[in-house]
Amino acid sequence: MNARAVCAIDLDALAGNLSALRRALAPGVRVCAVVKANAYGHGAAACAQTLAAGGVEMLATASPDEARVVRAAGVTVPILVLGGIDSRRDAVEDAWRLGLVPSLLDAEAARALAAVVPAGRRLRVHLKLDTGMNRAGLTPAAALDLVPLLRDGPFEIDGLYSHLACADEPSHPASRQQLEAFAAASADLEAAGLRPKIRHLANSAGALGDPALHLDMVRPGLALYGHRPNPALGPTVALRPVMEFASWIASIRPVPTGTGIGYGWTWQAKRPSLIATIRVGYAQGYPRALSNRGWVSLRGQRAPVVGTVSMEHLSVDVTDLPEARAGDRVLLWGAGPEAPDVMALGCAAGTIGYELLTGVATSVPGREDDSDEPA
């Protein structure tokens, strides 16, 4: 067995998650599926094809390069480029050719872009407002100042959007505050003559959590890949994890009480123990932060990660699983009741499940990065 680990992507689960999410939306609310970062590590080409076949109205990538991967896969759905495009004539030509809808994120970029759009032509864009994330987007005041250019310049302002900072905490007041700020800015812009067709605010947390945040379109990422940003969000929406990450037992050794395991002997056997060495480590994307904190599923049973996760190995205590054998498949995370939950593992690692999903190495079969292929 050559591969140290494998990653399996269940596209039926992806399609099912889209349908489940749709059922939680009022009729007419559109879906913009976020496929940035190689679809959160799930493969942008295949995921975009599945989501397009499932009827999403829009896809979102971080950059035009990511969008090119989606287009190379034959997907024709409009693509919102969250990070915007360069203010160069060829970038604008590319946007038209590829059917990209760039975000306008700040006044300077909007002016620079307007200057390179050829006379007589218009670029379809979505205007991003900063309503509280304080990361990217125009403040409502800056957007109002820009209205003359936005209204009379070479743009078609198709959409107006913002991004929620705290929606994964359902009781956090920030989401409603952002909604109010967004509604007020939207009304001011409309009074000034700017009437975008689509207004959108909600990520997965907003889409699963509060219908008031849905507006004309939602922009889920994580939920489509089968996870909730917070287990309390959308408990009735049936989501199935799309990614399964697995490896194998290389060997099993019996060790006496007091034996230290792995680098630094950070775990020592408190009883005569059976320790399985698994062929995966942080080089394949299993976080070192899960040393002595993670768990795997083996023959349907939970077994704890013991000792320090190393570059290409980790150790698991299988003392209570004497039937475990070298060559057994080990589920690191995935779907099904016995599979470790990647969001819970993310918490245990002191991070979020998103980071684990996007962190599986491209050397792992099934996790090849689409963007490595020339588009």
Ligand X SMILES: Cc1ncc(COP(=O)(O)O)c(C=O)c1O
127 makes contact with ligand X (CB under 6 A): no
Residue with Cβ nearer ligand X (146 or 222): 222
203 makes contact with ligand X (CB under 6 A): yes
Residue with Cβ nearer ligand X (84 or 281): 84
Residue with Cβ nearer ligand X (201 or 316): 201
- Judged by CB under 6 A, the stretch of 71-79, 199-207, 278-286, 292-300 that binds ligand X is 199-207
The burial class, CB within 10 Å (0-12 / 13-18 / 19+), for 325 is middle
Task: Look at residues 26, 27, 34 and name the one whose alpha carbon lies nearest to residue 229.
Answer: 34
Residues 305/291, Cβ–Cβ less than 8 Å = yes
- Residue ranges of alpha helices (H) inside the chain are 11-23, 36-41, 44-53, 64-72, 89-98, 107-116, 140-145, 147-152, 174-191, 204-209, 342-348, 353-359
Task: Look at residues 54, 53, 108, 56 and name the one whose alpha carbon lies nearest to residue 86.
Answer: 108
The residue assigned the tokens 């009883």 is 271
CB of 133 to ligand X, least distance (A): 9
CB of 237 to ligand X, least distance (A): 13
CB of 88 to ligand X, least distance (A): 23
Binders in 221-280 for ligand X, by CB under 6 A:
221-223, 229
214 makes contact with ligand X (CB under 6 A): no
The burial class, CB within 10 Å (0-12 / 13-18 / 19+), for 143 is buried
Number of residues that bind ligand X (CB under 6 A): 12
Binders in 44-83 for ligand X, by CB under 6 A:
82
Query: What is the distance between the alpha carbons of residues 101 and 80, in angstroms, rounded to a whole number?
Result: 5
Q: Which residue is nearest to ligand X (CB)?
A: 221
CB of 220 to ligand X, least distance (A): 5
Selected from 68, 126, 219, 367, the binder of ligand X by CB under 6 A is: 219
Q: Which helix (H) or strand (E) holds 133?
A: none
Selected from 204, 247, 319, 371, the binder of ligand X by CB under 6 A is: 204
Selected from 163, 214, 279, 367, the binder of ligand X by CB under 6 A is: 163
What residues contact 62, with CB distance under 8 A and at least 6 apart? 36, 37, 81, 82, 83
Task: Look at residues 97, 49, 96 and name the one whose alpha carbon lies nearest to residue 73.
Answer: 49
36 is catalytic: yes
- Judged by CB under 6 A, the stretch of 149-157, 203-211, 267-275, 360-368 that binds ligand X is 203-211
Query: What is the distance between the alpha carbons of residues 216 and 99, in angstroms, rounded to a whole number?
Result: 21
263 is catalytic: yes
Residue numbers of the site for ligand X (CB under 6 A)?
A: 34, 82, 163, 203-205, 219-223, 229
Catalytic machinery residues: 36, 263
